[in-house]
């Protein structure tokens, strides 16, 4: 996709996010809208090894969402990419749906992990990163993957899956910024660094808000890049709404060896809907008041760029 096509796709995804939230009557607007560009870049940017027709292929890159509350954007991106029908998006948060209010491990194609309780997906991601590296080592040592000795296949979710890894998959894990207030996140960070998981990349939605207000007011995170650097990460700070920057970061990531990478994606929470942008009160609610959804959907037809309203320095 060209940059313009990516922008259009992100806008379609945002519109579906709004529709899902309104249909559900609950859910998290701000982060879902804010991360639409990054999710679009990941699923449509051509940088990763993903095949919606073969979602559990052993050689796929693993995409893990740790801040599970922004799953509307994950589900919408997956549906647009062809992992499951787009019609299913409106079942989000409803009974009998595969699209749970917070992600449930392999409930639908592409949903790699359970998340929502913050910090847990970060640990899962380092576990997956360890696992794929160990499996690849086994292949190098002459075993046919995990099945080499006993012919067991514990998770044969697809009949088409390759039996063993031919290359080392990348593991991408999305997190929120307030998720870095969880101690578990830093436990996992230490582990990733100790084990030189250079095929592992965290992408944090640095939108400076959380459910109760601004991150720097509730529990200051800065200087975040320095902290993560001290924990052994190569840290990249990007404009999370600039497809060229996102794409470059995913490329540059590959040149970092023996260190995991942490991409700080600076985003505008509620991106694309003016009355939501940079407002913490939109963290955990949908646009349910009269006219809000219509206004939001109309606005999303306008492309916006990260201007001077950068949320790094909030003002009262």
Residues at the contact surface with another protein, assessed by CB under 8 A? 104-106, 112-117, 119-132, 134-135, 137-138, 143, 146, 148-150, 152-155, 183-184, 187-188, 190-191, 194
| CB 212 to another protein: min, Å | 20
Rounded CA separation 81/46 (Å): 11
Length of the chain: 316
Looking at the Cβ atoms of 20 and 125, the one nearer to another protein is: 125
Sign of torsion over alpha carbons 159, 49, 124, 119: negative
User: In which element (H, E) is residue 125 found?
Assistant: helix 120-140
Looking at the Cβ atoms of 33 and 129, the one nearer to another protein is: 129
| CB 251 to another protein: min, Å | 25
DSSP 94: S
Residue among 309, 311, 307, 300 nearest 10 (CA): 300
Rounded CA separation 316/304 (Å): 23
Looking at the Cβ atoms of 144 and 305, the one nearer to another protein is: 144
| CB 116 to another protein: min, Å | 7
Looking at the Cβ atoms of 1 and 168, the one nearer to another protein is: 168
Looking at the Cβ atoms of 86 and 104, the one nearer to another protein is: 104
| CB 127 to another protein: min, Å | 2
| CB 70 to another protein: min, Å | 17
Residue among 99, 154, 143, 104 nearest 124 (CA): 104
Residue among 37, 4, 1, 12 nearest 271 (CA): 37
Q: Are 80 and 86 in contact (CB under 8 A)?
A: yes
Count the neighbouring beta carbons within 10 Å of the beta carbon of residue 277: 20
Looking at the Cβ atoms of 190 and 219, the one nearer to another protein is: 190
How many CA atoms, within 13 angstroms, populate the side-chain half-sphere of residue 282? 29
| CB 128 to another protein: min, Å | 4
């Amino acid at each position: 996709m060209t940059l313009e096509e990516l922008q259009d796709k992100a806008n379609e995804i945002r519109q579906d996010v709004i529709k899902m939230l309104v249909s559900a009557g609950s859910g998290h607007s701000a982060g879902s809208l804010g991360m639409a560009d990054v999710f679009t870049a990941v699923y449509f940017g051509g940088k990763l090894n993903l095949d919606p027709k073969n979602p559990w292929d052993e050689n796929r890159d693993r995409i893990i969402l740790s801040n599970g509350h922004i799953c509307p954007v994950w589900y919408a991106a997956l549906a647009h990419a062809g992992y499951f029908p787009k019609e299913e998006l409106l079942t989000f948060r409803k009974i009998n749906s595969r699209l749970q209010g917070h992600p449930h491990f392999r409930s639908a194609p592409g949903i790699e992990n359970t998340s929502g309780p913050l910090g847990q997906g970060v640990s899962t991601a380092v576990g997956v990163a360890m696992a794929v590296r160990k499996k690849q080592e086994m292949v190098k040592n002459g075993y046919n993957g995990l099945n080499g000795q006993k012919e067991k296949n514990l998770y044969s979710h697809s009949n088409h899956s390759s039996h063993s890894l031919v290359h080392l998959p990348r593991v991408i894990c999305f997190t929120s910024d307030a998720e870095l207030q969880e101690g578990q996140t830093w436990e996992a960070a230490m582990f990733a660094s100790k084990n030189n998981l250079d095929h592992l990349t965290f992408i944090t939605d640095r939108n400076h808000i959380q459910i109760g207000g601004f991150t720097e007011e509730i529990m200051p995170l800065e200087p975040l890049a320095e902290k993560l650097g001290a924990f052994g990460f190569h840290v990249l700070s990007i404009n999370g709404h600039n497809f060229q920057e996102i794409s470059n970061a995913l490329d540059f990531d590959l040149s970092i060896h023996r260190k995991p990478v942490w991409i700080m994606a600076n985003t505008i929470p509620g991106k694309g809907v003016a009355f939501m942008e940079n407002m913490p009160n939109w963290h955990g609610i949908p646009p349910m008041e009269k006219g809000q959804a219509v206004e939001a959907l109309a606005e999303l037809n306008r492309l916006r760029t990260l201007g001077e309203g950068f949320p790094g320095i909030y003002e009262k």
